[in-house]
Amino acid sequence: LSQQEYIGFDSIRNISSVLNQFAAKRIFLVTGTSSYYISGAHNLLKEYLSGHNVTRYCEFSSNPKIEDVIRGIGCFKSAGCDAIIAVGGGSVIDMAKLVTIFAENNINPVEYIKKPPKKVKRNLPIAAIPTTAGSGSEATGFAVLYIDKKKYSIENSSLVPDVAIIDPGLMISLPKYLTAVTGMDALCQAVESYWSVNSNEESKAFAAESIRLIKANIVQVVNTPDTISRQAMAEAAHLSGKAINITRTTAPHAISYPLTSYFGIPHGHAAALTLPAMLEYMAGVNDKDLLDARGCRYVRNNLTEICCLFGSKEIIETKKKIEDIIKAVGLETRLSRLGITSEKDIQTVIDNGFDPDRVKNNPRRLTREALREILESIN
Ligand SMILES: [Fe+2]
């Protein structure tokens, strides 16, 4: 079943008809602690929520941790809700998806990870309202969960929210740094989706449009935001979510997880760090390390298409363009300046950056030696 989408300024008002359609009486509202107010969501939603019994869950940190999910499940169960609304960034939307699925199926998250059940049901409807233009979580059947610094990706089509409301008005107040890191997350997702071994015509169309929009708007939205660039980035992030929902992400995302959990680098920044070098690495694909069944020529063609989307003809120039974007949005590009200073630190990233489910989506096999070279090139 396809998702209902509302996109554009003021689209948050559609929550009124959505709540009618859900026939919701008791709402489980998952939000950020302060972003819910700062984004303006609280003010806009209160008239629509006033006739409902609302239980708000917001006491958790970013990058959902198991303790927070378990607490959320308890809260969810005692509230006895009949619909879920998530308002926030990727972590908030992931949290809402996780709590709902574990509570409804009465399964402990650790048990789920050990042995994912064959059948997962979800009867209660979820509406997701992002307040950042980044993860695209409102469009995906994935949710990230951390247990003791280790990242797990929960994947299930029943995690895709029934409704996504993408209102760039909620993103106007996003600070510069958050705008930059979330925008870079969307860019990484779109590029990784484009070169993923799982890509198809549909995912490539989503990813291409996402890349086009981000290339044209990210520097503007970070440095001199206006309504046009906010709207473009909101759409682009949603499209990147739709793209990775088909293809999943690849190496830059795999490597981002230890950079986030061990060194505290925000997700989008962490993914962006290796994206330029990874593009160059992908271009060296050969018959021995090819992972895409469609062949080396197909992969190289894909990479050329990515270059075109960046308005460039060849790999090194595109690599430079992506590096320039990262710098222009004010993000550090060197690991050594982000707290990854020793050989031991690099080893931590290598030891934990090989999420097999992500790396296998790369068109070119990534070896530990190659990853070390990439990390050293940005040290
Ligand atoms: Fe991401």
Q: What are residue 8's phi and psi, to 5 degrees?
A: 130, 165
How far apart are the CA of 356 and the centre of ligand 1, in A? 16
Predicted pLDDT at 195: 98
Mean pLDDT of 130-150: 94
The number of beta carbons lying within 10 Å of the beta carbon of residue 10 is: 11
Neighbours of ion ligand 1 (CB under 5 A): 185
pLDDT of residue 58: 96
Tally the residues of the chain: 379
73-92 mean pLDDT: 96
The model's pTM: 0.96
Percentage of the chain modeled with pLDDT above 90 = 91
How far are the Cα atoms of 63, 152, 233, 265 from residue 346, in angstroms, in the given order?
22, 21, 33, 14
pLDDT at residue 354 is higher than 90? no
Spatial contact of 72 and 154, defined as CB atoms under 8 Å apart: no
**Average model confidence (pLDDT) across the chain:** 95
Q: What gap in Å lies between CA 252 and CA 188, rounded to an integer?
A: 8
Q: How confident is the model at residue 323 (pLDDT cuts 50, 70, 90)?
A: very high
**What is the reported pLDDT for 150?**
86
Which pair of tokens denotes residue 79? 């509230």
Distance 267 CA to ligand 1 centre (A): 7
Ligand 1 mean position, distance from CA 98 (Å): 17
How many whole angstroms from 94 Cα to the centroid of ligand 1?
12
pLDDT tens sequence across 276-298: 999 999 999 999 999 999 999 99
* Number of other CB atoms surrounding residue 294 within 10 Å: 13
Q: Tens digits of per-residue pLDDT, 203-259?
A: 999 999 999 999 999 999 999 999 999 999 999 999 999 999 999 999 999 999 999
Q: Give the position of tokens 């929520």.
A: 49
185 CA from centroid of ligand 1 (Å): 5
